[in-house]
Structure 1
Amino acid sequence: MSDDPQTPQPVPGPEARQWAMLCHFAAFLGLVIPFGNLLGPLIVWQIKKDLDPFVDAQGKEALNFQISVALAVMLCFLLMVVVVGFPLLMLVSIAALVLTIIAGIKANEGQAYRYPFAWRLVK
């Protein structure tokens, strides 16, 4: 998929949109098991990345964002020593929740979503 906004992108099929959405929503596995926010998108992406380029791109985006969130959460835990980590952890958690929901909805609509503030390690 081209990043050029002038180039019309083909609309992904319903199955590709569903799996792209699940790549984002798999991060909620982190509410059940430790590191599930990383494992969920990683597993869904690895299983379905060959289905469609849209699923591959959105899976990478979801995984990169969850890696960024995990690093931010670790930093918040370190900053709890000086108390500022508590409100920062709350802010990071709410932002991650909202952005993940928005990304899942956009992916289900067939729109490629790029998370703000994501460190893109997986290319």
Structure 2
Amino acid sequence: MSPTDEKTWAILLHLSPILISFIGPLIGYLVLKDRGPFISHHAKQALNFNITVAIGYLASALLMFVIIGFVTYPIVAILAIVFAIIAAVKTNQGEYYRYPLAIQFIK
């Protein structure tokens, strides 16, 4: 895979969760993880971050029983979108971006 293709796929991995949750990064990780160090790094980062976001959504949903979840849920959603856009921009610049707050499930 050419460096340009790697960069394009990495950007798509970071932006796909805006539409399809962690499914995009999961499929991307499974298919692209062996195609080069750049794409492998970004596939892992996108998947780890979106698993962390899913945990945040689940915790917020559970907290809705005590009202605070109605506040935390949109905060998680906004942070997920903002960090995905930042990751896509950094990836486009050729950087090995690592999400803040992401739990590293896959190393």
Q: How high is the TM-score relative to the length of structure 1?
A: 0.81
Larger radius of gyration: 1
Distance 1:108 1:44 in 2: 17
Query: Of the candidates 21, 25, 30, which is equivalent to residue 46 of structure 1?
Result: 30
Distance 2:29 2:92 in 1: 15
Distance 2:90 2:52 in 1: 20
User: Which residue number corresponds to residue 4 of structure 1?
Assistant: none
Query: Of the candidates 69, 78, 81, which is equivalent to residue 53 of structure 2?
Result: 69
Q: Percent identity?
A: 41
Aligned residues: 106
Corresponding position: 1:94 with 2:84: no
Q: Which runs of 4+ in 1 moved over 3 A?
A: none
Query: What's the Cα RMSD here?
Result: 1.3
Distance 2:52 2:64 in 1: 19
Distance 1:45 1:20 in 2: 10
Distance 2:30 2:12 in 1: 12
Corresponding position: 1:21 with 2:11: yes
Of 60-69 and 46-55, more deviation after overlay is shown by 46-55
Structure 2 runs not aligned, ≥5 long: none
Question: 1:87: how far off?
Answer: 0.8
CA deviations over 1:46-100 (Å, ceiling 9, x no partner): 2222221110011000000000000011000000011000111111110000000
Question: 1:45: how far off?
Answer: 2.1
Question: 1:108: how far off?
Answer: 1.6
